[in-house]
A and B are shown apart, each in its own frame.
Chain A
Amino acid sequence: MGIINSFLETMADLAAESGFAGFIQDGGWKNIIMILISFLFMYLAIAKGFEPLLLLPISFGMLLTNLPFAEMYHPEYWEYIEGVAERGGGTNDHYIDYGRILQHGGLLDILYMGVKLQIYPPLIFLGIGAMTDFGPLIANPKSFLLGAAAQGGIFFTFIGAAVLGMTAAECGSIAIIGGADGPTAIYVSSKLLSKTDSIGVGTIALAAYTYMALVPIIQPPIMRFLTTKKERSVVMGQLRQVSKIEKLIFPILVTVIISLMVPSAAPLVGMLMFGNLLKESGCCDRIAKTAQNELMNIITIFLGTSVGATTRADKILTLSFGKVILLGVIAFSIGTACGVLLGKLMYLVSGKTINPLIGSAGVSAVPMAARVSQKVGQEEVPTNYLLMHAMGPNVAGVIGSAVAAGVLLSIVQV
């Protein structure tokens, strides 16, 4: 009898400690919804091909973090502690107890340190730089203007978020989605947002990557609406050849100028340009290949799963998440529209030699946005190849959104 009783007691304890019991507990139903949402994102990544390299790790991180009692991620550890005395005097209101995280944190807490300490996004930029050819931009430096104009989406969305009554940190984090650059969005939001904000880094990352995958659907109607058939039919001539020395000087020059102007953009721009210098130098092939492939893939896994882990039920199932989704698509659309409108202006100023469609590529989703310009251009003139012309604004957009991120970080200080 005693054996049976102890067996039943043990089984009851096990059941009470299992994750299933967690679903029945107070608020446990929210976790079930979140797990279902993670299944939806997995479906979008696998079956629909929505940025699978990032959405799949993010959605799996989302699944892991919402399993009750798995204790892989603890949002409470990331809460800022106010009024902590600094060694050099003064107090720090944004203190995070990393010692506690290292001692008691779960796997995803440890991986998330790379996000919060701003390590992963610059390393991703290193890989992007090693993969990017800035030749089209050097051949046609005017493309920089289109890359700058498309950042309009970021700043106009800031207004929208403020109107909806969000905090400065939330406004900055949502607005940066308009840059169409995942690592930049994560970089800014992880620096600005804290647990007291109604949205998390994961929410911003999910919205950014989902909309980046939707670029081919969001952009073409705006591009067609803002341009005439005649403008879309402009055939652009071939770009000039860029010499190796020009390609070598470019990353060094951009790093120096941008880092001196907006120091808070230095980690992103610096690593982007370092990666590019590795590629262009031609003498560091091994390192350049590692940055492009192995390092980038490893960081993508860490970044994706740990960012996904921040999408806890209490952060997603809120009204603010709806606002992020709404403002995110507005940010993308305004960015596209600003790029196309400046493209139209350049079309007029250049004596009708610039096709305004390349302006939409100023949002930095590389190379998707440039491909969209190419596709919409070919609908009018099948022999028109706008791809390389659009790559100029496209890579300028990457630099532009890193600068915009630096500006946001230096204005919206937390």
Chain B
Amino acid sequence: MSVNTDLALWLLLKGTDKDLGADTVASVVITGICVVFIGLIILILCVNLYGAIFGAINRRKAEKAKAEAEAAAKQTEQFSPKPPPQPEPVVEDGIEEEVVAVIAAAIAAMGASSGKRLALRSIRTAKGSRSAWASAGIAENTRPF
């Protein structure tokens, strides 16, 4: 079975044997430490190896994506006129700047993930809507379903 089988047979260690000899103890210690180190060093090599392989694959993918993005950007620059300046969104009184910033960021993130260009036109308080806390509570309670 393991690398230690022969050694174990040679040592003939039994659970009830008294007086372990110095040689026996030294063998156990040296074998033990060596096997643990060898095992874990093999793991280091393997992890490094596949880390390098996947690192290279990811790098190649990233480079390819970057090159494609650059090419696409060049094309759009060449063929499409500059977009007209966007009008400022109309913000209702009483809505704080931070809230506007958060909404704008959320819309930008949504646009980036779906690949669409979204614009923020106006922000106003919805009538008869739940408070943010109430909505969060409902979302939390219904999430498992």
Contact = CB atoms under 8 A, between A and B. Distances in A.
Interface of A: 94, 137-138, 141-142, 144-145, 147-148, 151-152, 154-156, 158-159, 162, 165, 167-169, 171, 192-194, 196-197, 243, 245-246, 249-250, 253-254, 257-258, 261-264, 396, 399-400, 403-404, 406-408, 410-414
A404 B54 contact: no
A165 B37 CA distance: 28
B48 A196 contact: no
Given A167-B20, A262-B35, A414-B14, 12 more contacts: A94-B15, A145-B44, A155-B29, A155-B33, A158-B25, A162-B25, A171-B25, A246-B51, A403-B40, A410-B4, A411-B8, A411-B27
B11 interface: yes
A145 B7 CA distance: 25
Contact of B42 (A145, A193, A257, A412): A257
Given A159-B25, A253-B46, A263-B1, A258 B39 contact: yes
5 contacts: A151-B36, A158-B32, A162-B25, A406-B2, A410-B5
A246 B54 contact: yes
Nearest to A170: B15
B95 interface: no
Contacts of B2: 261-264, 406-407, 410
Contacts of B3: 261-262
A162 B24 CA distance: 10
Interface of B: 1-5, 7-8, 11, 13-20, 24-25, 27-29, 31-33, 35-44, 46-48, 50-51, 54, 58
Contacts of B19: 165
A141 B43 contact: yes
Nearest to B7: A411
A201 to B, nearest CB: 13
Contacts, number: 145
A158 B27 CA distance: 11
A142 B38 CA distance: 13
A412 B51 CA distance: 37
B17 A243 contact: no
Given A411-B4, A411-B8, A411-B11, A155 B47 contact: no
Nearest to B22: A162
Given A144-B44, A257-B39, A262-B2, A167 B32 contact: no
A246 B56 CA distance: 13
* Interface class of chain B by DSSP: helix
Contact of A148 (B4, B18, B24, B36): B36
Contacts of A169: 15-16
A165 B18 contact: yes
A407 B31 contact: yes
Given A141-B44, A257-B42, A263-B2, A407 B35 contact: yes
B28 A194 contact: no
A168 B40 contact: no
B15 A144 contact: no
A243 B20 CA distance: 49
A247 B18 CA distance: 46
A403 B5 contact: no
Contacts of B8: 410-413
Contact of B40 (A145, A165, A411): A145
A403 B32 CA distance: 9
Contacts of B39: 148, 257-258, 261-262, 403
Contact of A138 (B28, B31, B42, B47): B47
Contacts of B1: 263-264, 410
B41 to A, nearest CB: 7
B15 A412 contact: yes
A141 B4 contact: no
Contact of A411 (B15, B17, B32, B38): B32
A253 B36 contact: no
B59 to A, nearest CB: 12
B40 A147 contact: yes
B41 A145 contact: yes
Nearest to B42: A257
